[in-house]
Amino acid sequence: MTFQHRLNRSLHKYSGLACLPLFLLLAISGILLNHPEWVRNLSIPGQFLPVSHQYDNWNRAIWRTTVRNGDHIYVGGKAGVWYSSDGGSHFSPLQNGYPANPYDQDTFSLIRFHSEDSADLFAGTRRGLYRYDEGTNRWTNIPFPGKEVMAVADLSQVGDRLLVFTQQSCYVLRASADELETTAFPLSFAPQDEPQTTRLFQILLRLHSGAILGPPGGLLVDIGGLILVFLCTTGILIWLLRRRRLPLRRLRSSLSWMYRKHLSLGILFLPLLIVITLTGVLIRPPFLTSIASLSVPAKVLSAQNGSNWIPRIDKVHHQPQTNSLLLATRAGFFSGPDDFSTPFVKLPINVPHSSMGVTVMAEVDDTTLLIGSFRGLYLWNRDTLTSEPVFSRQR
C-alpha cells in the first residue's frame, strides 16, 4: 500500500468520522423536507430554537398581511391570524377551526371580501383557503376541486369574484358560493421577443429536491439520502469493529459484507451525492448571494408544465382603473385583463426583487405601487415607469 493510498484512506476515515453527525442530520432532514406531510403535524417549543429564530416583537414574518377596519385589525403570518379590537394595542389569536400545527397555519394573504350584504374575512394559508365567521368565531376550510391541498399565494377581489391564486394556478370563489368553482381561470403568458428566463436559484433548488424530474426525481433524491444514512452507519460500524478482535466467523463475515457494500454503493451513488451537496451549498447563504442575480432559459423548467410556461406567482394586485391584474412572479412582473381574456404580458418594471420572491405589493395612490422583497422596499410609478427606494424619499 503506497503512502498516497494510506493518506487518502486516513483522510476519508477521519473526515468522515468528524462530519458523520452532520451528514446524518442532513440526510434525514433532507428526506423529511421532501415529504413535509410526514412531519407537518409535529412541532417543538420555540425556546428550543436559536435566539435568532425566535419570535420577538412580530418579527420573522409572524406578521405578513393586514386587514383593517377602523380600530378592528386582523394580521396574518407564520403564527396564523391575530385580531385586535382596540387599534392594535392588544392582539389575540383566532384559532378556532384554523390549522392546529404551525406549518399549516402559515398565512400568506388576508382579504375582506365585500358582497351586497356581507363582508367576509378570507385567509390564504399553506393548507389552503379559509373563511372566518364572526358570528360563531370560527374558521371554515373551503376545499379546492378534487380535495387537493395547495398553498394559497395571494387573494384578490374582482367584482363579485374572489380570485384565489396558488403558485401556478387561479381558482374562483363567488359571493354566493361555499366552495371553489371547479373551472379554474386558465393562466397563459404571451410569448416574448427575448428568451424567457428563470432564476438560477430556482433550477438549483429543484435539482436539490429532485423536483426538476418530477416524482421520479424526488424518489431518486430520497434514495440518495438513504444511501448517505447507510454509508454513515456502515462507516462507523466498520471503524468500531476493526478496533476489536472478532473471534466469531459471523462477525468477520458481517464486517467484510459492510465494507464491500460501503465501497460499492459509495462509488455508485457518488455523482448523485455530489450534485445534492453542491446544489445544497449554493442555495444557502453566503453562497446564495453570488448566484442570486443569475438567470437561465425558462425552457429548462417548461417541460414540467407542458407547452404553457407558467412562472411561480408570489403576489397579485388588482388595478380596477384599468380592469387588469398585475402578477409578481419569480420571472418578473406580468399584466393582463382581470377576466383572463388575453395572455399576461411581461412589464419592464425596474424594481430589484429577491430570488425568494416579492413579499409586498400594495397601492399607494392612483399612480404608485409599493413593491418589496429581501432586496428592499421600492415605489414604482406607473406613469413614468420609474422606481426609487422608499427610504431615499423619506430623507
Measured distance between the N- and C-terminal CA atoms of the chain, rounded to whole angstroms: 71
Q: How far apart are CA 175 and CA 67, in angstroms?
A: 19
Q: What share of the chain is helix, strand, coil (3-state, %, to 5)?
A: 35, 30, 40
- Flag whether pLDDT at 374 surpasses 90: no
3 and 11 Cβ atoms separated by less than 8 Å: no
| Cis ω before 191 (30° cut-off from 0) | no
Q: How confident is the model at residue 305 (pLDDT cuts 50, 70, 90)?
A: very low
- Spatial separation of the C-alpha atoms in residues 266 and 227, rounded to whole Å: 8
Q: How confident is the model at residue 84 (pLDDT cuts 50, 70, 90)?
A: very high
Give backbone dihedrals phi and psi of 193, rounded to 5 degrees, phi first. -65, -45
For cell 425596474, name the residue.
Answer: 350
Q: Helix 200-209 and helix 270-282: axis angle, to 10°?
A: 140
Give me the torsion for CA of 38, 44, 48, 49, rounded to 10°. Answer: 50
Predicted pLDDT of residue 58: 79
Per-residue model confidence (pLDDT) at position 251: 60
Distance between CA atoms of 198 and 381, rounded to whole angstroms? 25
- The alpha carbon of 326 is separated from its chain's Cα centroid by a whole number of angstroms, namely 21
Nearest alpha carbon to residue 130 among 161, 173, 91, 90: 173
Amino acid at 158: V
Q: How far apart are CA 24 and CA 264, in angstroms?
A: 19
- Name the most confidently modeled range: 132-136, 158-162, 267-271, 391-395: 267-271
The pLDDT value given to residue 4: 77
Please, what sign has the CA dihedral across residues 276, 281, 285, 290? negative
Answer yes or no: are the C-beta atoms of 308 and 299 closer than 8 Å.
no
For the segment 92-101, the average pLDDT, to the nearest whole number, is 92
Percent of the chain with pLDDT over 90: 39
Going by C-alpha positions, the residue among 296, 387, 252 that lies closest to residue 333 is 387
Best CA proximity match to 86, nearest among 68, 72, 66, 96: 72
Burial of 43 from C-beta contacts in 10 A (0-12 / 13-18 / 19+)? exposed
- Residue 154 — very low, low, confident or very high, per pLDDT cuts 50/70/90? very high
Residues written for the chain: 395
What average pLDDT does range 87-98 have in this prediction? Answer: 92
